[in-house]
Each structure stands twice: as structure tokens, then as C-alpha cells.
Amino acid sequence: MTNEPLLLGIDISTTGAKALLINSQGDVVASATTPLTLDTPRPLWSEQHPADWWEGVVNSIRQVLVEADVAGETVTAVGLTGQMHGLVLLDKAGEVLRPAILWNDQRTAAQCDAIRARLGQERLIRITGNDALTGFTAPKILWVQENEPEIYGQIRHILLPKDYIRYKLTGGYAIDRAGGAGTLLFDLAQRDWSPEVLAALDIPVDWLPQTFEGTAVTGTITPAAAEITGLAAGTPVVGGGGDQAAQAVGVGAVQPGIVALTLGTSGVVFAATEEPLYEPDGRLHAFCHAVPNYWHFMGVMLSAAGSLQWFRDTLAPDTPFDALTAEAAAIPPGSEGLLFLPYLSGERTPYPDPLARAAWVGLTLRHTRAHMTRAVLEGVAFGVKDSFTLLQNAGLGAINQVRISGGGAKSPLWRQILADVLGVELVNVSTTEGAAYGAALLAGVGTAVWPDVDAACAATIRFTQMTGVGDTAVYDQLYPIYRQLYPALQNSFHNLSSPHFTKDNVM
């Protein structure tokens, strides 16, 4: 047993409720995740029950306290993070009105069109930093208004998933500004709810919680929550941040010039900014950072490491990833004229097109499996560069270093390809626990364990591998050709998505 003060990060992801304990040196003391399930009651729908989140959080907190062999009193503070954009509706008694509608729910296309019509797309992007997309919270609210009026009439509180957990822990209604910016109801520059957007959508401001910076204390653990979780009553709970903002804190992407690249199933590019910038066409997300008075851009490609996973599972199911990448390492940069478009799941950045499709372009008789593997790695790197190009065109400035994480970051070959395509040094860091780690750091800053987020990151994050820029010449020549392919093939992709060419004639 230890009496050392500990910090607790809680992450409500789509797949699990995670609790993570760290000490003031940043060492992970204990970690536990309780799996969560997803409901898809109708096509395009994605929902979860908030009660399941709470049950999972309670279970995970109790597990880490047991694993660390500590009492709840040793936890100095709690930080929260989790999936963004979800819609949790409560009545005047604080009871849940319906299952939460999640970030990956796609039912709200008509409501997105309505939001653009009411505000004008250009004005919407200028205020919120974002175009109306089905994942965001605002169109979900309109969907409930139009399709479930009896529920809509009972709404008194609107929360995000992690902020429902905050409510269960503290009894109060609050939201961090990084999460709030992802609702499409925020004034990006003012870092608070937008009166203009709320008025245009006829959403009462008193339904929305008070907003806080990511390091601010938003409440304390209630006696009831203490009894069920094992934490001590009165323990501070800080604002925290949406999952990507907390992940960025967890790898130290908290200053302009340092970009976080998460190379998981999807690929996320995250760049901090000192002012509220936005991409004029809304092709990048622009949100508030979890770091006080900072903002960030975010680009998302839907099939990053997922492209390599698909390639291996489909074409080489008995071959280890290391063997595939070893073959690819023997192929010269550029895969001898073979390019891969990584749009296996449609795309989000820079082309918000669910009907985009993947393709190899340039196949010849001389190309082997090794060429195809390398082309997949290079195609994903070009897709990441698309986000970097948008970032710099939107006024981000110089990119000095990329902090890389996720499963794809384990491959030395892929890291070198990325460094060469992007023309910037890549760094792996010691922290691998993701958003929950960043939430714990924010909790420490909020309770004066560290004076600010920069100090927290400096005290806890170490470089483990560095990948410098090598030969960029071939990739500099290939990237413009890659950029030509989607515009040239877009109509073909859409035509091939016709019901005539899909299973059972259903899209």
C-alpha cells in the first residue's frame, strides 16, 4: 500500500469505461477498463445507455483502487475525458429520457441541412469553426425535436457522455470547453455557448451546463458517489476534455508547432493553436483545446492503420504484420509507381465523402505483394499529409515535430515513410495510456500538483524513439499525383455505390 497522492483519469470511450491511476512522476500505478456495448436499433443509428457508463466507471474505479492497494483518500483529484458529440438528455429530476445518441450515429443528415439553411454555411463555420456534420450534438437535438416531441418536451438538461459521469460523481451540471466546442453550439472565439446559434436552432440556453476550462475544478465527489465508487467525498473533479484533446495532453501536444498524430484504425491529426483559427470550407475541425485559452485543429482520416489491417486480413491472413512490413522495406520509395487511396470506409478529411472508395492505381505485372504493402503504407502517409496541407493553408504556421502514437506507430518502416512524406521529425513518447492519461494530468494541474499543463507534460512525458527526415524527393513528386486521383475518380466512386452494385441492392 502507498500513501503517495494519486491522480485518477476516467475515459468513457465507445468501447469501454477506463480508470487510470498515476502518481506525481507520471508513472501508471493501476489501470482497469470495463467493456461497453453498442446498440444499433435501426440502420444508421448508434446508441448507448448512460446507466451502463456509470456502472462501468464504478467497476473500473473500484478495480484500480484494489489493484493499487490504496484507499480512496489517496486520490488527489479526478479528471474526465471521453467520446465527444454524444447527446444525453435529462428531465428536471436529472433522470435520463432516452438512450444516448453517439458520435458515430448517422441519422441526422436532414437536420444538418436545416442547420446550414438557418444560419448559412459560411456563418456557421465562422462562429463554430465547423460545418454541420451528422456526428455533432446539435443536429441530434433537432432530430429529437422533430421525431420524439414527447421526449423533447421533457428536456431540462443536455450533457455529453463524460459530463453525465461528472453529474453522477458531483451532482452538478458542467462541461469542459473542449467538449462544448464539439457540440456545434459553441462560439469558438468566445469559448462559450453561442447565443446566435442557440437562437437560430431554438435551443434554450438554460438546458446547457456551465462551461469550464480543462484544468478548472467543476465540483467534488458527493457522499453518495463516494460510497459506491470507493473515492473520498470532497475529492475535486476537474473539467478534463474530449478524448482527442485529452489524448493530445497525454502526449504533450500542447503548444503550436507540435502536432499529435494518432495512427490507429482511423488517423487523427491534432494541432494546437494560440488563436481561434478555422478552415474556410470546414474541412478541418476547429475546437477549443483542453489547455486553457488554446484552441486546436483536427483532421480525421477514417482508415489509417485500419487500411493495413484490412490488407493483411484479406490478402495475407496468415502473415504477421512484421513480415509484411519487412517485405515492403525492400521495395524502393514510391513502390515503383504504385499508389493506394486509403478510402476503405469513405473519408472525412480532406474529402467529407462517405462514398469515397479505396483503390490501387498503377498496378503492373512487375508489382508484388510487397509493392502493394508499401503502397498501403505510403497511401496512408499521403492521406495524413492532406490534413497537414490543410493545417498550413489555414494559417497554422511551422510544424516542428510530430508526436506519434497508436498501433501503426510501432512500425519503424511506417514511421520513416511518414517522416519522409511529411518532411518533419517524428517522436514516440513514453505515455501510451491515451486520453485517460491526459485527463489525469489535467486533474493534477487543477489541484496544483503542477503549475500548468506545460509543466505537467515536462514532468511526465519522455521521448522513446525519434525518426528523422530522410529522402523526400520521390514523395515530393508523387504527392501531387496522389492529390489528382480522388477528383478524377469521385464520379466513378459514386456511380459504383449505386444500389445496382451493392449486396441485395441495398446501399
Active site residue ranges: 243
SS3 at position 76: strand
Under 8 Å CB-to-CB from 230, ≥6 apart: which residues? 61, 62, 65, 71, 72
Place of cell 467534488: 220
Query: Are the C-beta atoms of residues 17 and 63 closer than 8 Å to each other?
Result: no
Tell me, what DSSP letter sits at residue 392? Answer: H
Q: What span, in angstroms and rounded, lies between the C-alpha atoms of 82 and 103? A: 11
Residue 178: alpha-carbon gap to chain centroid = 11
Strands 210-212 and 174-176 come out as: parallel
Question: Which of 294, 379, 385 has its CA nearest to residue 344?
Answer: 379
Query: Are the C-beta atoms of residues 9 and 438 closer than 8 Å to each other?
Result: yes
3-state secondary structure 260-320: EEEECCCEEEEEEECCCCCCCCCCCEEEECCCCCCEEEEEEECCCHHHHHHHHHHHCCCCC
C-alpha distances in angstroms, 179 versus 87, 243, 313? 12, 9, 35
Question: Which of 282, 304, 286 has its CA nearest to residue 296?
Answer: 286
In this structure, what C-alpha cell is assigned to residue 9?
483519469
Q: What span, in angstroms and rounded, lies between the C-alpha atoms of 12 and 15? A: 8
The HSE-up count of residue 278 (CA atoms within 13 Å, CB side) is 21
Instruction: Give me the numbers of helices (H) and strands (E) for the chain, helices first please.
Output: 17, 24
Question: Which of 286, 240, 234, 241 has its CA nearest to residue 395?
Answer: 286
Backbone angles phi, psi at 338, to 5 degrees: -110, 130
